[in-house]
Amino acid sequence: MMAPPTSPVLDALIARAAMADAPRIEAVDLEGQRYWIKRPEVLSLRWRLQKGNPARLFARERRIHRALMARGAPVPPILAEGEGYLVLPDSGPSLEATLTDAAPDERLRACRAAGAALAGLHALGLAHGRPHPRDLCWDGARIVFLDFERGSSANASERRQIWDLVLLIHGTYGLSPRETPEVAALCDGYRQGDQRGLWKAAQAWAKRWRWIDPLTRPLQRYEARHKPHRRYKELLAIPLTFKRLGA
Ligand SMILES: Nc1ncnc2c1ncn2[C@@H]1O[C@H](COP(=O)(O)OP(=O)(O)O)[C@@H](O)[C@H]1O
Ligand SMILES: [Mg+2]
């Protein structure tokens, strides 16, 4: 954990956060430390209609972040906040970046820790909502969750927690759609921390929904043939996810 920012650094960050026309998310380096400033999204009318009012969504995101923090979840501490901004310390490279850049051993450590962290979140009665490897950070010692939106909950149903687990497995396969020791490590980490029998519940879920795989097979073939450069192979990840859950 890095040292808390000095008050001149904090003042500079808050001044920066208030700047108009700034991007949604911005990394700021000050006195040898990196910080992240997050602001509401600027949405076109079409997206506003689909996603909702950005100011309200952002208020909700901040509320959930605070609630998760209060419950002891591994989330970045909020260094400063206002109606239009959040200032967070850097929590390390994303799990996605770790999976592409780190050495094999380190990738396994990060994945095991990510699985364990998700199980820990669930054991606290929480859910992330839409965990993807780009929204988990790994600093070499600790996993931290970012990006809370629809579905994040401080009072989560089992259904939401199952969905978290399925999405994290699916998102990880989407980065490289084949059997990998990384996904196995992720699942092992989860299962070791699973105090609520959620792995079994996710397996039952997968059995009920496994027809999604044959149904989407033409789309999976399309993705394999025509979209080799897609960053996230979300369709090819489907059969692997069901198989991993034993369906
Ligand atoms: N505190 C942080 N530490 C490290 N990386 C961060 C942090 N906050 C954001 N990021 C990086 O910025 C990306 C976008 O941030 P996120 O909170 O997910 O916003 P969005 O809602 O736009 O997806 C993340 O995927 C991560 O790579
Ligand atoms: Mg995100």
Supply 228's token pair. 């080799």
Listed residue (143, 240, 246) closest to 189, CA to CA:
143
Q: Whose CA is nearest to atom 2 of ligand 1?
A: 90
- Percent share of the chain, pLDDT over 90: 84
pLDDT tier for residue 183 given thresholds of 50, 70 and 90: very high
Supply 186's token pair. 């992720």
What is the atom index within ligand 1 of the atom nearest the CA of 147?
A: 17
Q: Where are the beta strands (DSSP E) in the chain?
A: 25-30, 33-38, 80-82, 85-89, 136-138, 143-145
Cα torsion through 118, 247, 181, 222, rounded to 10: -100
Measured in Å, residue 228 CA sits from the centre of ligand 1 at 26
In the prediction, which pLDDT does 202 show?
98
pLDDT tier for residue 68 given thresholds of 50, 70 and 90: very high
Distance CA(41)–CA(147), nearest Å, equals 13
Mean pLDDT, range 70-92, rounded to an integer? 96
In the prediction, which pLDDT does 161 show?
97
Top pLDDT among 124 and 48 is at 124
Mean pLDDT, range 213-241, rounded to an integer? 96
Mean pLDDT, range 83-95, rounded to an integer? 96
Cα torsion through 116, 99, 94, 60, rounded to 10: -60
Supply 22's token pair. 């700034």
Q: Ligand 1 pocket: which of 34, 91, 98, 146 to mutate (most atoms <8 Å of CB)?
A: 146
| Residue 135: C-alpha distances to residues 130, 168, 192, 204, 224 (Å) | 9, 10, 22, 26, 25
> For the chain, first and last CA: distance in Å?
40
Say if residue 67's pLDDT is above 90: yes
Contact predicate 181/172, CB 8 Å:
no
Lowest mean pLDDT among 31-35, 55-59, 66-70, 107-111: 55-59
Q: Ligand 1 pocket: which of 13, 25, 33 to mutate (most atoms <8 Å of CB)?
A: 25
Contact predicate 223/235, CB 8 Å:
yes
Starting from the CA of residue 25, give the closest ligand: 1
**What is the DSSP secondary structure assignment for residue 217, as one 8-state letter?**
H
Mean pLDDT, range 93-99, rounded to an integer? 98
Supply 120's token pair. 């820990």
Neighbour tally for 159: CB within 10 Å: 11
Domains of the chain by residue range: 7-89, 95-244
In the prediction, which pLDDT does 1 show?
58
In the prediction, which pLDDT does 48 show?
81
| Residue 145: C-alpha distances to residues 68, 85, 150 (Å) | 10, 18, 15
Average pLDDT, the chain: 94
Residues with CB under 6 A from ligand 1: 24-25, 36, 38, 76, 88, 90-91, 94, 134-135, 137, 146-147
The reported pTM is: 0.94
Distance CA(228)–CA(19), nearest Å, equals 39
Mean pLDDT, range 74-89, rounded to an integer? 96
Mean pLDDT, range 73-80, rounded to an integer? 97
Q: Under CATH, which number does the domain 95-244 receive?
A: 1.10.510.10
- Percent share of the chain, pLDDT over 70: 100
pLDDT tier for residue 91 given thresholds of 50, 70 and 90: very high
CA–centroid distance for 17 within its chain: 23
Amino acid at 15: A
Contact predicate 185/168, CB 8 Å:
no
Measured in Å, residue 82 CA sits from the centre of ligand 2 at 20
| Predicted confidence (pLDDT) per residue in 97-137, tens digit | 999 999 999 999 999 999 999 999 999 999 999 999 999 99
| Predicted confidence (pLDDT) per residue in 1-15, tens digit | 577 888 999 999 999
In the prediction, which pLDDT does 44 show?
81
